Amino acid sequence: MIRPSKHISASRSLLGVGAVLLQALDAALTPTALWERVRDHEAVGSYERFVLALDMLFIAGLVALHDGSIARMDG
């Protein structure tokens, strides 16, 4: 599901979503604020995929949750 396969395109895979989220996180945002920003992006699709993509980014150590806000972890 993360990686595109012959059934799922790259943009549609969670990696694609994650990319969009990372791009949107130029500053720390609450999940709701982030969702409002990206909900209409074609790559994102549903709230379900949004959450899983966030989870993925978290697992990869690319984002963290501080005081209810999600921020990028660059480095």
Partner 1 sequence: MIHEVSANQPTFHRVRFTAGLNVVLADRTDVSTQKDTRNGLGKSTLLAIIDFCLGANAIRDRGLWIEPLLDWSFSLLLTVGGNTVRVTRAVKSPGRLHIEGPTDGWVRQPDDHGDGSRSYSVADWRTVLGAALFALGGSEERRRYHPTFRSLLPYFLRRGLDAYVDPFRHYRSPKSWTTQVNVAYLLGLNWEYAAQWQELRDTEQATRALNAAIRSGAIPDLGTAGELEAEAINLQAQVDRQSNALRDFRVHPQYEAIQSEADQLTAELHELSNQNVADRRRLAQYRAAIEQEGAPADVQLEEVYREAGLVFPAPLRRTLDEARDFHRNIVANRRKFLEVELARVARAMATREEQIGQLTDRRASVLNVLATHGALEELTALQGRLVELKGRLAEVQDKLAQVRSLAKKRREVAVARAELSQVAAREHEERRGHWAEAVRLFNENSQALYNTPGRLVIDVGDAGYRFDVEIERSGSEGVGKMKVFCFDLTLLQLWADAPLHIDFLIHDSVLFDGVDSRQRALALARAASVADEIGAQYICTLNSDAVPFDEFPVGFNFNDHVRLVLRDRHPSERLLGFEFDQPYGRDDAAGV
Nearest Cα neighbor of 20 from 63, 59, 61 is 63
List of residues 6+ apart from 13 with CB closer than 8 A: 1, 2, 3, 4, 5
Cβ-based nearer residue to partner 1, 23 or 65: 65
Give least dist CB 6 to partner 1, A.
16
Binding status of residue 45 toward partner 1 by CB under 8 A: no
Give the integer Cα–Cα distance in Å for 32 and 60. 21
CB of 26 to partner 1, least distance (A): 19
Q: Establish if 52 lies at the interface with partner 1 (CB under 8 A).
A: yes
State yes or no: residue 10 binds partner 1 (CB under 8 A): no
Q: State yes or no: residue 23 binds partner 1 (CB under 8 A).
A: no
